[in-house]
Structure 1
């Protein structure tokens, strides 16, 4: 590898922890600039630097299997982001291409650690019925931020120089670690997202047409007024599950004449869509519902009714 003055930028392709933290910093865009302008490398030297990053990624895959057994995904993503930020900053300081190659190995290791953490989190956080769509949205956001990030970092490099762009990217990566405290990556296999099929079939006088709708589902709970705040907080958290499974509106009502009598109401577009809701409920949802039903003090389980708009 021919000697030269400096080195090449690394990319937070994976450095977007929980939500794609900073606009993704694409190494393939800035690396040629670092290799050419800072390190003075020709095509072969640039290819070697890129190969060093690939070697780091291969090394990372060998280490990750063992690390994932003991290190939670969120902590692993934080470490990978910080290591990537360190490698990005180091590219502005290394004196020659040899050290730059070593830095790129570390960058590749951090890149694959972040990338696999995001991929695994997307897979494990999505129930089977929506997994394909969740992955499609994830890839759309991931690739879109890489494209937007390439424009952003290229613009900063053209205005302030390549070293300045690398320093700003590194600082942004470090700051993005704060997001890991708010939007945490889930632990692997913490929730059983297999269908539970525990909902009873609705009682109907006659089978409604599949296209009948909208459908209003009401669930009536009797709750000790002393535990009202605790119950409503838990039920409001569970509303996200209702909306995930197809509800287009969700509300919670309290009977003014009878304290402790609460009605959860949610609307789905059609009868067939509500039937699909039955198939989408997971074992993890079942545990949440058992926790909610534990607040119920009425005789028998919470009362459920289904209402259709008249023809």
Structure 2
């Protein structure tokens, strides 16, 4: 399928272009902030702190942001956040234009802008599957990488020229205007009726549900692990590149912008070059090749001082970076069901941000304590070691998993109508299993356990009746009756149905299901 297929959808194309322009502004903002700090004492640490300050809010706020994006109208949420970001960017522009900005104040503004991005990312990424058909999600993910990396190619180059000609305040002002543009496009977009949540979950419950889903999903946990093992050492390049430019190659702001432009150009070219390759190699083969290439580039940055060689090495670095991140992001988009998509993606963003923000500071401190070559070659070794763990911790193949919503649990028949808030609710399911099927049944129920816990249960157990031969009882606790009804009404997928059918095929007859409420629970409305 063509990588540009999603761009034929007018709404997606308009929003994608707005996000591209916003990403350009954010890279201009980053370069402007970093370049203001290059001449400060302890520059290695301060420059690295720009990334930490911009990414740490994602680590702190993304999960609450995901809960909001799954519960509120995403368009209105995005519109509100872009308006606030425009005001913050305008204030930074004014302060910078009036005089020198102390490092602490600059980092505080950077943190505030990062907080806005933390609220934007889950809502935007969760909106994409509503705009693009499922069979084009991989292309949309690649286009997302193109947006980020085209911005990385354009933004720093433009920022370098503007800083040299007009100063950092102009760069910050352009960034503020990009938020205004995004807000205008959002205001013009009218989503189809019915896309906003009808019965939003309570905020605290929604946050817990998102965390619970990831905790009990081996597929998501493995995706997150692969992201950390690549990004933590790989981020040494982004954190230390301004210092490579100024201290090892003797470049000014324009040269640094050119280096970032080369990286971005490699990433954009990679997105197009990788599209036909994906049909012939597995995701794990892609990650292996990209990790080896990126490790080699880190070694070149640490050991070589020839500008032309370093510039050439940055091209495959951009390609490898986009190969890994687009593969991982698409894997998340394709696997997560709609009801928890924003929360799952927000946890992904938390992990990605943490894998960039915390190691960025560590690489800066290591470079200060030792030298740039030591820090970069150490990152190269760590990258290679992490890549080789693919033999142990490969991405789980999900191509045959049915991720469509599946409503297959029968409607509960109760003699009372409990208040939806009552809880906890104890659900018990009684099975009869022959002796020869018992080992296979116990194994099959492990997949049922993960399914039930992903979708709402916080305790689960499988017990055998000591008095009844072949009688097994599955029991689990759900926080409230409303939470259990959500399991019935759309949280389960076709893959969950298949797991349950495998277990029930090993039992005799239909299982007996009971719902137990706290003693004295009142009927709804009383």
Please say whether Structure 1 and Structure 2 have the same fold, judged by a TM-score greater than 0.5: yes
**Equivalent of 2:498 in 284, 287, 291:** 287
Spell out, residue by residue over 1:76-112, the C-alpha distance to the aligned partner (whole angstroms, 9 max, x if none).
1222122111111122333511111110001000000
RMSD (Å) for aligned C-alpha atoms:
2.3
Partner of 1:125: 335
Matches within 5 A, 1:126-275: 126-187=336-397, 189-275=399-485
After the TM superposition, which of the residue ranges 93-102 and 142-151 deviates more from structure 2?
93-102
Distance in 2 (CA, whole Å) between partners of 1:188 and 1:310 is 43
Aligned to 1:229, what secondary structure does the other structure show?
Answer: helix
| 1:20 aligns to 2:228 (yes or no) | yes
Spell out, residue by residue over 1:130-170, the C-alpha distance to the aligned partner (whole angstroms, 9 max, x if none).
00001111112211221101111111111221111111111
Q: CA deviation at 1:177?
A: 2.1
Q: 1:200 to 1:182 in 2, by over 3 A?
A: farther
Aligned to 1:69, what secondary structure does the other structure show?
Answer: coil
Partner of 1:309: 518
Distance in 1 (CA, whole Å) between partners of 2:276 and 2:461 is 45
Spell out, residue by residue over 1:173-223, the C-alpha distance to the aligned partner (whole angstroms, 9 max, x if none).
111124434443344643222211111101211322212221111111222
Q: 1:276 to 1:192 in 2, by over 3 A?
A: same
Unaligned runs of 5+ in 1: 1-10
Distance in 2 (CA, whole Å) between partners of 1:132 and 1:182 is 29
Aligned to 1:57, what secondary structure does the other structure show?
Answer: helix
Partner of 1:48: 258
Distance in 1 (CA, whole Å) between partners of 2:294 and 2:281 is 18
Q: Is the 8 A contact 1:215 1:306 kept in 2?
A: yes
Distance in 2 (CA, whole Å) between partners of 1:51 and 1:78 is 25
After the TM superposition, which of the residue ranges 175-184 and 163-172 deviates more from structure 2?
175-184
Q: Is the 8 A contact 1:72 1:187 kept in 2?
A: no
Q: Is the 8 A contact 1:128 1:193 kept in 2?
A: no
Aligned to 2:475, what secondary structure does the other structure show?
Answer: strand
Distance in 2 (CA, whole Å) between partners of 1:188 and 1:197 is 21
Q: CA deviation at 1:40?
A: 2.3
Partner of 2:167: none
Distance in 2 (CA, whole Å) between partners of 1:123 and 1:31 is 31
After the TM superposition, which of the residue ranges 227-236 and 53-62 deviates more from structure 2?
227-236
Q: Is the 8 A contact 2:224 2:351 kept in 1?
A: no
Partner of 1:3: none
Greater helix proportion: 2
Q: CA deviation at 1:286?
A: 0.7
Aligned to 2:377, what secondary structure does the other structure show?
Answer: helix
Q: Is the 8 A contact 2:288 2:388 kept in 1?
A: no
Q: CA deviation at 1:26?
A: 4.3
Unaligned runs of 5+ in 2: 1-50, 56-144, 146-222, 521-526
Distance in 1 (CA, whole Å) between partners of 2:280 and 2:267 is 20
Q: TM-score, normalised by structure 2?
A: 0.54
Distance in 2 (CA, whole Å) between partners of 1:95 and 1:16 is 35
Number of residues of Structure 1 aligned to a counterpart in Structure 2: 298
Q: 1:182 to 1:235 in 2, by over 3 A?
A: farther
Q: TM-score, normalised by structure 1?
A: 0.89
